[in-house]
Every structure is written in structure tokens, then in C-alpha cells.
A and B are shown apart, each in its own frame.
Chain A
Amino acid sequence: MNSTKTNGFGVLTSDLALKIDEIIQTYESNSTRLVGILLDIQDIVPKQYIPREVATYVSERMNIPLSKVYDVISFYAALSDVPRADYVIQLCDSVVCKVTGNTILRDAITELLGIKEQEATADGKYWLEYTPCFGACDISPAMRINGKVFGHLTTQASVKAALDQYK
């Protein structure tokens, strides 16, 4: 399945397992809550992804076939099966941000961090990906860092100011 891409051995520490148990408990181990459970788990896994061993763990704890867990992980854009970074940068790639000039934003990130789409910095701090419209068109061009929205990014200085909040 995704095992070739997911070198996750050693991620699932007993501490993380406990936290995952807590998340599953919060949702009362309800299988209809799988999407929300995986999103919450992804937030606490280092490098913000769902490693194979975590997916397997969730499948066993919730009595859901692993294939169904991966049906969800592989379908939704907000869930990743490859390691990302401490800070996930999402550039809006929508047509609105395009017409308001998001190329400056894109170039600024590449220049400041030296990474392109689907790449992480060598120190594992930043990951860059493009994402469809996240509804911040009134302040476009926009990006998200770990879910937080930054807008009006029309200069390299404004991009740097946003990045500087995540060091």
C-alpha cells in the first residue's frame, strides 16, 4: 500500500499511543468519527502525517479494517501519508489568488526557504504544499501555516514576517 513511502518505525512511542487512545476516547471510538480522529492524530504526530504503524494502531483500536483507514487517509487532501515537517505551509493555488498575484508569494517562499512544492527544508522545519481555495479570498494572496491563515502577502517582507512567527 503506502509502506514504501512511509518509513515510520519508531514513531509510535508508548506516549504517543496513549495520546491516540485519548483522542479515540474523546470521540467514543465512534467509527463515523474516523475523519476527525485521524485529523486530530495527525496534529500530534511529529512531522504531521499518519505513518503506517499509526494507521495500523488506529485500525486495531477501533476495529476498523486497515483498508478502510487508508480509504480515508488516501482520499482526503488534509491527511498525509508521507512525513511533512514541524510547520506545514499551504499556499493557496486557487484562481482567486492567481489573479491577485500569488507568484510573488510562491517565489518568496522558494527564495527564503529553498524549497519547492511537496518538499521539506533540510532541518525538517518547513514543508511546502499547494492547496485549493481555503476561503480567504478577501485577503488574497494567502497561505496557511499549520492551519493559521495569513493574507495580503504581496511582498517578500510580508511573507518573511509570517514565516518568522514559526521558528
Chain B
Amino acid sequence: MSKTVSIITENFGKYDPSSIDSYLTIGGFSAVKKALAMSSAEIIEMTKKAAVKGRGGAAYDTGRKWAQAASVPGDDKVVICNADEGEPCTFKDRSIISKDPFRLLEGMIIAGYTVGAKNGYIYLREEYRHLKPLLLNAIQESTEKGYLGDNILSSGFSFHIHLYSGAGAYVCGEGSTLIESIEGKSGRPRIKPPFIKECGLFQLPTLVNNVETLAIAATFIQHGVEDYLRYGTPDSPGTKIISLAGNVKNPGAYEIPFGLTLREIIYDIGGGIPDGHELKLFQLGGASGKVGDASIIDTPYTYEALSKQGLVVGSGGFLVVDDRTRVIDFVKSVQDFFIHESCGKCTPCREGNRQIAKIIDRFVEGNPRPDDLQTAERFANIMKNCAFCGLGETAQSTLLSAIKHFPEEFGLEVAVNEKH
């Protein structure tokens, strides 16, 4: 029996994403209708009950975020849909936008209604430009049919959605940086406070949610929270769309209930490692996530169990790597990515990444200096504690977790012997 489920993804393939009429035939916009009949407080209560953690990667409680956004005073607020899915090995938002764009709009309208926003912005990464016509069409058709725009379904609530393009900058996935980019500037993070929930886009109170988070909101409003809570575990209820890729037979975006083991994901859903190779490592949550080894693949995919093993759910990226890749080459590739993507605003991230890269290069070439590893770890920890934004704080997660799981590949045989 298939271990995947379709709750958030239930509409995938069921309608023509370029036609609102097609969407309406499968009960489209019933979530918006239900939400508009409820009060903001009732929706927040439901969201808290659903216990959805932000799906962009930071895992902040969505109910709490919405409650805070709703309580900020102001009659002109903004909802931003973060569709800047830049985390390597993450493409689940692409699957939602391309297969169910209308549900995403529903989620935004519901979020806007709940927090009292007048305008919504979708920040779509440049790499997904091919999906722009689909989204623009969805916005236009929804407006024509009265589900978007002024006085939605005669409820008195008005909400407009605007589409903005990114231009190839990973750092713009960070909330305040994304806002800078929508304002037409280069993407560098803002200092907090003021928090963007109080003073964000165009100085207005701003709520930023990930694509999947918004799609889930529309899902549980439509079917009820109990229906959504039937899946998952008591601590990590519900489902998650993962992006499974790398050395697996069946890569793809899959919706799974929380609680499957990593083994089930790799071997049952992913079909295992191709060409008779062995599992070497896996990386969860993209480049800013962490790596693990084969000894812990019976860990259940839940926030708590992963955290105990030093892993994260993050963006839902799930990269499988077999024994053909050296750990150090893997780490170097991730490091090159962060050098390219560091915006250069703060010294720990800009210089830390450069210096650590030099050290990693020496490991790749096989002639590290005696204190190199110690230095790299020290710099990595400085970055974790002192970087200006999430990019720098998490840039060394891969390196640090790789050293932990594969000390021998960094020349730490002594430490391994001591461990056993």
C-alpha cells in the first residue's frame, strides 16, 4: 500500500490549473466561503489547533504568527506569500503552484481576512518564471468571478493580490530581505526590531507565510481541523510535502504523514538507491539543513524525533546520497553555494564562509593543516551565533553535522576510537 497521502495535494491532477471553472467543479473556493462566515478569532483558534509549523523552514507556529499579526493595530496590512523556494533540493512549492494555484490563492485570501490585510503579494523566484502566467491567470480569473478584489462575495472584505518576481537570490527567502526586494532594492536583511509583523513591506504590518503553509490553511478550513489531525503523530500532527531527490530511484515531491521513518521514505517511497549502491548520507532541509548517516534511518520523520538526532525538517528537502560521493566533496559543494549566496552585509557570514571554504579546499585536496578542523569549527560556531540573518546562522549546519557523523572523513580516527 502506498505510504503517501493526498490531503494538501488532494487537488493535484484533479482539475485544470489554468481554469477557475474547472476548479469550481471540484468545490473550489469553498474554503474561502467558509472562512468569510467565520470570525478572525475563530480562524486563529482553528489554526492553533491544527498546530501547523511554518513550512518555509523556520517551523514557527502558524496559529501564533496569525494571532500576532491580527493583534497588531492598523487597517492597512499586508500578507506576503513567500514563493522564493531557493533551498537546494526543495521543489514542493513548485508542485503546489503548478498543480493547484487556486488553493494557494484561497490560503492567501483566508490569511488576509484573518489578520485584516488589504493586499497580498506573491514573491515568485526567478527560476519559476515559467509559472508566472499560470498565477497571473489565477489571480485575474478569481478577480473576475468575485473571489478576489473588492467586496469578496459581498462580504465587505476586500483583498488584492500582486505578483512580484525575484531575480536569483537565495537570501531573499528571508522575510525582511524578501521585503527589500519587493520594494525594488537589492536583497539584504533588515535589522530587527522593528519586526516585520509591525513594520514590514512599505512600513506596513506584514505577515509572511510559505506557499505550503497557506495551502494547508485552505485545506483545514475546507475540511475541518479534525480531518487534518487524523494524520501524523500526537507531537507532529498532519502531513508534509517532502522533496525527495538525489540517489533514489523515484525522486519527486511526495505528501507524507508525519511519523514515517526515514527508511520508509528512502526505500518504500523513493524506491531505494539505484545501481546497487549503498546509502552514504542524507541531508534534510536543504543546504541550511543537516546531514545524517545510515545508522539513524529508523528515526521517524517528526519534528521531535529528528531534533533528537540533531536533524531538522526545515524546508522538507530530502537529499539522498550514495557511496559514490565523498563527504568532503559534498560539504564543499554546499560551501560553494553559500559563498555565492551570502549577501555580504555582515562580516561573520561574508568572511566566515570564505575562510571556511579555504579550509575545506585543503581537506578536498587531502592536505589539511593540523589545526584546520578546529579553526573551521570555531568559525562555524561564530557564524551560528553572530551572523545577521538566518542564512549565515545556518550556513555551517552541513559542515558541523558532517563532522559529527563522519569524523573519519575529516581525519578524526582517534575521536572515533574513543567514541566506541
Q: Residues 42-58 of chain A: 1 if any B CB is under 8 Å from the residue's CB, otherwise 0?
A: 00000000000000000
Give the distance to chain B from A62, nearest Cβ to Cβ, in Å.
10
Which parts of B336-390 form the interface with A (CB within 8 Å)?
A: 336-337, 340-341, 343
Does A99 sit within 8 A of B, measured CB to CB?
yes
Give the distance to chain B from A158, nearest Cβ to Cβ, in Å.
17
Does B164 sit within 8 A of A, measured CB to CB?
yes
Residue of B nearest to A144 (CB): B127
Whether B333 lies near A95 (C-beta < 8 A) is yes
User: Which of B127, B168, B186, B321 has the largest count of A CB atoms less than 10 A from its CB?
Assistant: B127
Which A residues are CB-close (under 8 A) to B88?
94-96, 132-133, 137
Q: Which of A1-9, A69-77, A114-122, A159-167 contacts B (4 or more CB under 8 A)?
A: A69-77
Question: What CA separation (Å) do A31 and B182 show in the bound complex?
Answer: 10
Whether B86 lies near A138 (C-beta < 8 A) is no
Residue of A nearest to B343 (CB): A75
Whether B170 lies near A78 (C-beta < 8 A) is no
Whether A76 lies near B89 (C-beta < 8 A) is no
User: Which of A33, A68, A71, A96 has the largest count of B CB atoms less than 10 A from its CB?
Assistant: A96
User: Which of B88, B125, B322 has the largest count of A CB atoms less than 10 A from its CB?
Assistant: B88
Choose one: A38, A100, A148; the contact of B247 (CB below 8 Å). A100
Residue of A nearest to B319 (CB): A96
Whether A36 lies near B90 (C-beta < 8 A) is no
Residue of B nearest to A62 (CB): B184
Does A135 sit within 8 A of B, measured CB to CB?
yes
Give the distance to chain A from B349, nearest Cβ to Cβ, in Å.
15
Choose one: A93, A95, A135, A148; the contact of B91 (CB below 8 Å). A135
Whether A96 lies near B89 (C-beta < 8 A) is yes
Residue of A nearest to B286 (CB): A133
Q: Residues 57-96 of chain B: 1 if any A CB is under 8 Å from the residue's CB, otherwise 0?
A: 0000000000000000000000000000111111100100
Choose one: A36, A76, A134, A136; the contact of B164 (CB below 8 Å). A36
Size category, A interface: 35 or more
Which parts of B170-186 form the interface with A (CB within 8 Å)?
A: 170, 181-186
Does A149 sit within 8 A of B, measured CB to CB?
yes
Residue of A nearest to B244 (CB): A138
Which parts of B85-134 form the interface with A (CB within 8 Å)?
A: 85-91, 94, 125-130
Interface size on B, residues (CB 8 A): 53
Which A residues are CB-close (under 8 A) to B125?
135
Question: What CA separation (Å) do A92 and B190 show in the bound complex?
Answer: 29
Whether B168 lies near A98 (C-beta < 8 A) is no
Q: Beyond A94-B89, A95-B319, A100-B246, is A78–B168 a contact (Cβ under 8 Å)?
A: yes
Which B residues are CB-close (under 8 A) to A10?
none
Give the distance to chain B from A42, nearest Cβ to Cβ, in Å.
9
Whether A95 lies near B334 (C-beta < 8 A) is yes
Q: Beyond A134-B127, A135-B85, is A75–B334 a contact (Cβ under 8 Å)?
A: no
Give the distance to chain A from B253, nearest Cβ to Cβ, in Å.
7
Does B232 sit within 8 A of A, measured CB to CB?
no
Does A18 sit within 8 A of B, measured CB to CB?
no
Whether B165 lies near A35 (C-beta < 8 A) is yes
Question: What CA separation (Å) do A76 and B126 show in the bound complex?
Answer: 10
Residue of B nearest to A37 (CB): B184
Q: Residues 124-151 of chain A: 1 if any B CB is under 8 Å from the residue's CB, otherwise 0?
A: 0000000111111111100010011100
Which parts of B276-318 form the interface with A (CB within 8 Å)?
A: 283, 287
Question: What CA separation (Å) do A95 and B325 show in the bound complex?
Answer: 10
Does A39 sit within 8 A of B, measured CB to CB?
yes
Whether B129 lies near A147 (C-beta < 8 A) is yes
Give the distance to chain B from A162, nearest Cβ to Cβ, in Å.
15
Does B153 sit within 8 A of A, measured CB to CB?
no
Whether B319 lies near A99 (C-beta < 8 A) is yes
Give the distance to chain A from B89, nearest Cβ to Cβ, in Å.
5
Apart from the given pairs A78-B126, A95-B334, 13 other A-B contacts in the complex at a CB distance below 8 Å: A71-B185, A75-B343, A76-B168, A78-B166, A79-B168, A95-B330, A95-B337, A100-B245, A100-B246, A133-B90, A134-B127, A135-B127, A138-B245
**Those 7 A-B pairs whose CB atoms lie nearest each other, nearest first:** A76-B167, A75-B186, A78-B168, A77-B168, A137-B245, A134-B127, A133-B88
In the assembled complex, 25 residue pairs joining A and B whose CB atoms fall closer than 8 Å, in A order, are: A32-B202, A34-B184, A36-B164, A38-B167, A72-B167, A72-B186, A75-B186, A75-B343, A77-B169, A78-B167, A79-B168, A94-B89, A95-B333, A96-B245, A98-B325, A98-B330, A99-B247, A99-B321, A132-B170, A133-B87, A135-B94, A135-B125, A137-B251, A137-B319, A138-B253
Query: Which of B's residues lie within 8 Å of A, judged by CB?
Result: 85-91, 94, 125-130, 164-170, 181-187, 202, 243-247, 251-253, 283, 287, 319, 321-322, 324-325, 329-330, 333-334, 336-337, 340-341, 343
